[in-house]
Amino acid sequence: MRVGLLVTCLNDALFPDAGKAVVTLLRRLGVDVDFPPGQTCCGQPMVNTGYLDEAVPAVRATVEAFAGYDAVVVPSGSCAGSVRHQHGIVARRAGDPGLAVLADRTYELSEFLVDVLGVTDVGASFPHRVTYHPTCHSLRMLGVGDRPRRLLEQVRGLTLLDLPAAEECCGFGGTFAVKNADTSVSMGSDKVRHVLGTGAEYLVAGDSSCLMHLGGLLRRQRAGVRTAHLAEILAAT
């Protein structure tokens, strides 16, 4: 099976450690994951802001980059959701059904680990107090359910603390975070309050975008809680 990593534009540019962690993790599990360099962005920022024509080049680049791969692994719920649910919209707009072909073989990281590789114990060790925020698109668009929790529960030394109101949106929402900044920050502040209440050292999620928003609030408050992508915890030994 040829497995390609769709690292996402955000991880590529700002959170490369999340991408590196996926590579470390998958290699440890015996998957020789590849990074097709033609990839750029899944197109989600444009689609979600209403710029469908502008999304076409990104979607095309993504589809072409992953043409030879059997599975596409994405360390992001919302980007995996975009490939699965939005590439079809762009394909219709462009009149090119070929732009929607990745939908069936694209997996969010926790789905790939649990459903395709069939593992929940990935051999990780992370002796810290952690709380997990299930991001909206993993939870509701993809339906990843409790897969991330099951993975975290097997990590040695890790104490998983329940996050109150975990299923509430963090308020990131792509361009929502700047177009409706006040509402976005209000939502984020409530999430941060719940996170601080757990006493966790790390806030973990499967989407760097949500973590960037919450991390920005945490850092501004000098709260001392660090953010980490799910992949980074699962890669740790």
Partner 1 sequence: MSTFLGTPPFPQAARTALADPQLRQNLAHATHTIRDKRARVVAEVEDWEALRQAGAAIKDHTLAHLPDYLEQLEAALTAAGAVVHWARDAAEANAVVAAVAKAHDVDEVVKVKSMVTQEIGLNEALAAEGIAAWETDLAELIVQLGDDLPSHILVPAIHRNRAEIRRIFADRMAAAGRPAPDDLTDEPAELAAAARLHLREKFLRAKVGVSGANFAVAESGTLVVVESEGNGRMCLTLPEVLVSVVGIEKVVPSFADLDVLLRLLPRSSTGERMNPYTSMWSGVRSGDGPQEVHVVLLDNGRTNALADDVGRTALRCIRCSACLNACPVYERVGGHAYGSVYPGPIGAILNPLMRGVGTDPQVDSLPYASSLCGRCEEVCPVAIPIPEILVDLRAQVVDAHRGSVTPKPEAIAMKGAAKAFGSGRRLGLSERLTGLALGLARRLPLVSAWTGTRDLPPAPRQSFREWWRDDRP
CB of 229 to partner 1, least distance (A): 12
DSSP letter at 156 equals B
* Residue selected from 4, 45, 134, 206 as contacting partner 1 according to rule CB under 8 A: 45
d(CA 72, CA 77): 13
Q: Is residue 185 near partner 1 by the rule CB under 8 A?
A: yes
Nearest-5° Cα angle at 205, 135 to 62: 75
Tokens 């104490």: give the residue: 159
Q: Does the footprint of partner 1 cover residue 7 (CB under 8 A)?
A: yes
- The three-class DSSP label of residue 180 is coil
Least CB distance to partner 1 at residue 73 (A): 14
Rounded least distance, CB 46 to partner 1, Å: 6
Q: Which stretch binds partner 1 (CB under 8 A): 54-62, 116-124, 150-158, 199-207?
A: 54-62
Asked whether position 164 contacts partner 1 by CB under 8 A, the answer is no
Residue type, 111: E
Asked whether position 116 contacts partner 1 by CB under 8 A, the answer is no
The single residue among 105, 117, 180, 196 that binds partner 1, judged by CB under 8 A, is: 180
Tokens of residue 52, six digits: 């469908």
Instruction: With contacts defined by CB under 8 A, name the span among 103-111, 120-128, 198-206, 209-217 that binds partner 1.
Output: 209-217
Position of tokens 């020789």? 32
Contact window for partner 1 (CB under 8 A) among 84-92, 126-134, 193-201, 229-237: 84-92
Separation of alpha carbons 32 and 10, rounded Å: 23
- Identify the bridge partners of residue 203 per DSSP, sorted by sequence position: 131, 227
Check residue 125 and report its DSSP letter: B
146 part of the interface to partner 1, by CB under 8 A:
no
Choose one: 96-104, 133-141, 154-162, 197-205; the region binding partner 1 (CB under 8 A): 133-141
Quick one: 70 or 167, whose CB is closer to partner 1?
167
**Applying CB under 8 A, which of residues 134, 148, 188, 206 lies at the interface with partner 1?**
188
Q: How far apart are CA 151 and CA 233, in angstroms?
A: 10
Angle at 225 between CA 224 and CA 228, to 5 degrees: 135
